[in-house]
Amino acid sequence: MTDTLHIDDLGTVLGVWAHPDDEAYLSAALMAAARDLGHRVVVATATGGEAGGDGDVRLRELTESLAAVGVSEHHHLGFEDGLCGAVQAEVGMVAVLRLLRQVRPDTVLTFGPDGMTGHPDHVAVGGWVDRAWHVNGHRGRLLHATLTESFHRRWGPLSAATGLWMPGAAPPSVPDDTVALRVSVAGANADRKFAALRAHASQTDALRTRVGDGTFRQWWGAETFLQVAPVEGLAA
């Protein structure tokens, strides 16, 4: 199942993430490429990221970051940063379900059960989206952001040294030939992804300065996704 999907297959894209900056790290190049092809791209963030800095600053950064990749549709789900894991799963699910019914995406992007970095907000939000997708009758394809074995071979030590993963968390690592979609971040797309990440200055400046711009760009130089198969019997 190598790269079975291409950007022009994606149709309307809805990314559902936990914090401002998740969407940039995991899907900025995808969003830029999809917008270039004229697809509608909508981003939802469960929280304003207020635990990681001033909430107004973070939302302003998010708006600027999305603009760098041509996205103007954003939904803020209004949950509290750091507390998504404490939200009743049904409440989170219903918020996402409402969004699915409103946006009617052909493709939904979110975290896998690993939560990428193991952040409890990421794990919770990914779970809400999965459940909402099931309840909505598996409409549209659901893609989970993931990392590949080749990513870890190259970037595992740097990722660990910079504290990317939550303590005790196991980041996703899948064989490269199992990803359904790989967006390579090159050329103009790379510049736009870098601009999207830089716009989240309160979150990315320290890390970018620490490793240097060149390394920072290459580190986030691919976006990979697994396609989720519908699980019958889970739909309400």
Q: Which is nearer to Zn ion, 22 or 114 (CB)?
A: 22
Say whether 103 sits in a helix, a strand or coil. Answer: helix
- Report in angstroms how near the CB of residue 123 gets to Zn ion at its nearest: 11
Q: Which is nearer to Zn ion, 22 or 61 (CB)?
A: 22
CA distances from 139 to 35, 42, 95, 196, 216 (A): 21, 16, 16, 29, 36
Q: Which is nearer to Zn ion, 81 or 130 (CB)?
A: 81
Scanning 17-25, 55-63, 99-107, 212-220 for contacts with Zn ion by CB under 5 A, the matching segment is 17-25
Binding of residue 131 to Zn ion (CB under 5 A) = no
- Report in angstroms how near the CB of residue 85 gets to Zn ion at its nearest: 13
DSSP 114-171: T-TTT-HHHHHHHHHHHHHHHHTTS-SEEEEEE-BHHHHHHHHHHHHHTT-SPTT---
Binding of residue 200 to Zn ion (CB under 5 A) = no
Q: Which is nearer to Zn ion, 49 or 105 (CB)?
A: 49
- Report in angstroms how near the CB of residue 204 gets to Zn ion at its nearest: 12
Site for Zn ion, rule CB under 5 A: 18-19, 22
